[in-house]
Structures are given as C-alpha cells and as structure tokens.
Chain A
C-alpha cells in the first residue's frame, strides 16, 4: 500500500480534471470505485509508479491518452445479453416501431457491437431492418472499430446461439455468421443500416430524434449527477412516445425527469416517453 488513501483520492481527482481540461474526455462524474480500479490497473500494466507520473505522461503524450481511453472504457458485453430483455423488446417495442415509415434507433455505449447486431438481427426477422437506421455510438474508438468489423470469437457463438433461442429467435443462428478459423464473421447485410460513430455521453449533445434508445449497463458507471444529465439527454433525443431501454439493474428512480416516462416492462427496464 503505497500512498495514503486520502492523497490517492486527491491525485485521482487531479488526474481526471486534467484529462478533461486538456482532452475533453470527462471522467470526473464517473462512479469512483470503478474508475479508480481501472486507473490502477492501467498503471500496473504500464509500469507507472504513481498517479502523478501517469498524469504527466498522459498530458505530454496523446498516444498514451488514447491507450488509456481504450483500456479504461471497455464495457464487456455479449450478444442477446439477458434474453428475456430481447424477448420483451420484440413483443413490446418492435410492434410499435413497425407503425413508423422510417425507424431511428440509438444504441448509446455500443461498446464492441454485440448488442447492436442483436437488435439488427431481430429487426431483420420482423422485416423492419430495411427501413431502420441504427446509430451505434461509443466513446471508445477502438471498440467502435471492433463493432464495425463485426468479427467475434467463434467459441462465443455457442452461448450466443443459446441466448438467441431463449430470446425468441426464429431462425438458425448459424445463418447469421460464417466461420473462419477461430473467428465468426457476422452477416455483412446486417451492417447496411448501422451508423457507427464516436459520441461522448458525458460531454456531447443530442444529435437526432429517435423512436428507441438503448443504453444498457452504461449508466451504472456514472454518478447520480451525470446519470440525470444523460437521462435528460435521452429525453430530448426521443420522439413523443419513444422508448428507452436500460440495463436490468438500472432505473429512473432517482432521475429528475422520471415523471416524463412510464414503465412498459418493469422487470426488463423498458420505458416510454409520455410527458
């Protein structure tokens, strides 16, 4: 145990403040225990002896900053994570989406893309993908690149197949990818209507109006204040009666704008904008 925890906390704060000031990446409103752990992890993997030393290098070398962003913001995800959520999405949301001539969906915090393709597959099965545009955004450029490529480990396909079936998939999941060596390449046609783009939820503004916003297991990384700010951003970015889908441990309970939403499926955390 090198530093006293108090100094540690101050130095962490200083680090996050200076990253925000110099590069515009704002981690100052992230839940602290997790960001602290990620910073420590980065330090030990890259041989930094103190937060001060890391701070100095990050400010001087943008390459290291890029690496820092990549390694500290990756969110581990999977296809059809929580199959019961995807089932509810199809039953409660897609039916309504089908009434629009043109469907716009925002997947915020899309990470390496597994959830984006999961949504695209179910849109396709309902004949909706052709008239949809999915905006997949993330702060992490490298994760976005992986998402764009749509290539995943073959060994993961077994559990994805099982998730797909539990989620109410109508075909054989193997129709959606070709395998080569130990990789599975997802069907390129799924990508046609997906726009991958960098977006920083902590700093950037609304950029369009959507009928559905999915942001699952992203808000848990933020403190209360930033959560409220992001939920306001989603509120502004939804059309009247647009849907908001969160992760299964996330809620609008503490959100100031919660009165503007009603629950569509309490257990699966799907809400509709009513106010």
Chain B
C-alpha cells in the first residue's frame, strides 16, 4: 500500500534529511517510526502526507505517486490519509463536532450522513458530550481525541500520527495509544512516529529505526533502541 523506494530528501544546500530510505507498509499494519531528534521522522511523515516531494526515489501510496502528484489530486490523496499531530492542529474557530464534520464536508458528504458519522466517531473516542465545546474549552487529551476522531471519520486507509502524545501526560498518552491500537484492530493501517520509548516497547509491533536520515533497523515486534 505504501512504498518508499530509495527515497532521499534534501532541503536547499543543507545536509540531506533522508538518504536512500526504502520500506513497504502493507494494509492493516501498525508501524512505529522511531529515531532521535533530527533523524528524519518528521520529513518521512511529510513525504507520506505529500506535504513535501522526494528529491530522489519514489513514494507511492496506492496508485498515487507523491512525487508526480497534480495539484488537483492532492486533496483527494489527503482524504485517504488521516493525520494526527503533536500540536493537534484543530481549527480554533470551530467546535469539536464542527472540526470532525469539516473533514466530511470537504469530502462532499451529504448533509444527512454527516451527523451520524460524527456522532459515531465521537462515541468511539468517548467525547459524545463534548461535541459542542470549542477547541480552547478542551483539555490536551480531549483535543488529541478530537484530532483522532477527525482523522478517522472519512474511513481513511491509513492514520499517520506524528508524535501524537508529545504534549500529553502519561495517562492521556496511554489512552491515545490504546485508541490507535483499537483503530488498527478495526482494519486501519497506523503509522506512528514517536520518540516515546515506553509507547514503542508496549506496542510490540513493527519498528523502523531512523538514524541520520537512513533506515538503521526494520523489525517486526521491535523495541525502542538507538545506537
């Protein structure tokens, strides 16, 4: 489903952020991408969600080639990918309900479908009573759950989570990780970029380790370990 083939990424004349990265991710997998700060995790995520194009190599997502994407295809690709970020990236002028509904509205879903779908994901993330709250009225953990709900509501093929627990306390971190695991068990591929050792070790899933922009290790049932 997702294929990185000899991918390199260089910004201007600086050191390359990624060098010759290759891996494949199949449907229903749960993959953790770990590495120190500056290892290339965020660059890899940006390439995954087509926020950047590779300098060399090829990134494919289904039938989409990220490097050759036309501007009109980008929104369509993004609707197949649910994204969750450390800083939540919710729309501040909208309520929790409206943030989730927005993802459906821009996908062209009919008015009648939207309410049921939004309520369904709010139930899933245990925020049924917080739909009317605006973003600034939610706690960090609640914001991240709204972000996950928004990421899931269009039934994407993959959820990409870039340090989703970075701003959360251990209790909320556990909740978010459990939620992502639950989503994966329901059939969605999950890619989690993190430097949280405990999270990775607890998951006991496939781990890709990045060091200095290269893939150092790629193990099923891997553990968090940096050289």
The answer to whether A and B assemble together is no
A residues at B contact (CB < 8 Å): none
